[in-house]
Amino acid sequence: MTKKIYYLNTAFESVSEYNLALLVQKYSIAFLFHSPTGQNIYAFDSISQLKPGEQNENQFTAVAKWQNYLFSKLEPLNAQILPQIVGSFSFTSGQQNSEIWESLTNGFFFLPKFLVIVEKKNFTLVTCSFTKNTIIQESTAFLRLLGTVDTKKKPYSNLITKTEELAVTKWKDAVAETTKLIKETNLKKVVLARSLKVEFIHEFKVHTLWKKLKDTQPNTYRILLKQNTSLFISATPERLAKFSANQFETVALAGTIKRGDTLSEDAELGKKLITDPKNRGEQQFVVNTISEILKKTGLIVNHPQNPILLKNKNVQHLYTPITGMGFYNLFSLLGELHPTPALGGLPKADALKQINKVEPFIRGLFGAPVGHISFDNSGELAVGIRSGILKANKAFLFAGAGIVAGSIPENEVKETRMKFQPILQVLEGVSHSEK
């Protein structure tokens, strides 16, 4: 690419964010990202793309180089707000292309042609173009398209015809083998994941899924990444990082128990989780490891001494916010941090080796950092758990469990079955108006 990339800011009156989601059907490439505390991002079409896990180098280094190259081409046209790159890394680099993940196997980032940023009820369109003379017309045409999306109520129903938990026996054997290995070696924890296949009567309507994701999964990151016929969705409770100059925020999230049917039962279950030695020990692994990584980078680290309960609709977790202050190299730190012990294990290299040996599928974007990064290196990345990949009338959902010395295979099956529920509830019994 030798051309300049011009970018333009256009503030516009607030619209229903559902109208923005409706635009997904108009583009082959799109990305939606709702943060519980930060910006909401809507990105459409592409100026430049990168599959970070396919490069012949560390995927975080590859994205850093690509971002720097794009930055050298940027030229503002009366614009104060920078463009952003959006998308997802892969869980690990160099994964063999998977029939399930296809072109998303090794991650996918793009520089959007049209980026809508919603923050504190302010709506800003950032338009990128190779053509200076037409960028205003392109921006105007996008806003006109947004104003003409069909929001009429239309009956829609898509019911599940089949569910299948894949390779359960093999996965239970992998848990038993891993538990034995932890007892006999220096391994402390390995996160093993499994998958659930779901089939439906019809293909999915993306904007209807997004509405149900928003309605049924409050207080989570809600994420949708579309590339051609592949659609990745996530309702993850876990932040990998929120970052800006001299500040890096992350979390230690581990330990899981279901929500109660009554307030008293919910409180009792939360107490059981927060006093359980196995879960507290697992979560403390994560706190200690993340803190050490940030300290080695030179950051001043702060976090509460004890975890709190993070309550989502279906499950509750042990949660500790961690903040690092000082100078850091963003992509180097992300590379050190991912995967955290909550998604990989301890020690990291040994845990990843065991995952590659015994896990019965390719992770693709499951557990990968997914989000948006501005050219001033501010932004936010979530961890792509509570997630699935959708194609035509099929979906593959993913869930993992932290395996430690005291793990019991049947209990881990039950835990992962519980973690399938957020996305399964989004997908099943979709029978309502599209609006």
Report the pLDDT value the prediction gives residue 431, as an integer from 0 to 100: 40
| β-pair partners for 127 | 8, 114
Amino acid of residue 372: H
Task: Please say if the pLDDT value at position 157 is more than 80.
Answer: no
Distance CA 366, CA 387 (A): 7
Task: Please say if the pLDDT value at position 156 is more than 60.
Answer: no
- Longest CA–CA span in the chain (Å) reads 67
- Which of 201-210, 238-247, 408-417 is least confident? 201-210
Report the pLDDT value the prediction gives residue 155, as an integer from 0 to 100: 52
Q: What percent of the chain has pLDDT over 90?
A: 66
Report the pLDDT value the prediction gives residue 432, as an integer from 0 to 100: 38
Residue 310 lies in a domain: yes
The dihedral through the CA atoms of 200, 201, 204, 208 has a sign that is negative
How much of the chain is in helix, strand and coil states, percent to nearest 5?
35, 35, 30
Three-class SS of residue 68?
Answer: helix
Task: Tell me the DSSP string of 117-173.
Answer: EEETTEEEEEEEES-GGGHHHHHHHHHHHHHT--------EE-EEEEEETTHHHHHH
Residue 428 lies in a domain: no
Q: How many domains does the chain have?
A: 1
Task: Please say if the pLDDT value at position 410 is more than 90.
Answer: yes
Report the pLDDT value the prediction gives residue 249, as an integer from 0 to 100: 95
Residue 434 pLDDT level (bands cut at 50, 70, 90): very low
Residue 267 lies in a domain: yes
Residue 425 pLDDT level (bands cut at 50, 70, 90): confident
pTM of the predicted protein model: 0.91
Task: Please say if the pLDDT value at position 84 is more than 50.
Answer: yes
Dihedral over alpha carbons 87, 93, 99, 104 (to 10 degrees): 10
Distance CA 113, CA 48 (A): 9
Structural domain containing residue 315: 252-320
- Contact (Cβ atoms closer than 8 angstroms) between residue 107 and residue 94: no
Choice between 28 and 14, residue whose per-residue pLDDT is larger: 28
Report the pLDDT value the prediction gives residue 159, as an integer from 0 to 100: 77
Task: Please say if the pLDDT value at position 387 is more than 50.
Answer: yes
Residue 378 lies in a domain: no
Distance CA 122, CA 153 (A): 27
Residue 362 lies in a domain: no
Report the pLDDT value the prediction gives residue 429, as an integer from 0 to 100: 55
Residue 203 pLDDT level (bands cut at 50, 70, 90): confident
Greatest mean pLDDT among 106-110, 277-281, 340-344, 424-428 lies in: 106-110
Residue 52 lies in a domain: no
Residue 260 lies in a domain: yes
Residues 245-258, mean pLDDT to the nearest whole number: 89
- Per the prediction, the chain carries an average pLDDT of 90
Residue 240 lies in a domain: no
Give the pLDDT confidence of 89-130 residue by residue, as tens digits.
999 888 777 788 988 999 999 999 999 999 888 999 999 999
Give the pLDDT confidence of 42-78 residue by residue, as tens digits.
999 999 999 998 877 899 999 999 999 999 999 999 8
Task: Please say if the pLDDT value at position 154 is more than 90.
Answer: no
Choice between 204 and 12, residue whose per-residue pLDDT is larger: 12
- Which of 94-98, 149-153, 364-368, 415-419 is least confident? 149-153
Report the pLDDT value the prediction gives residue 314, as an integer from 0 to 100: 77
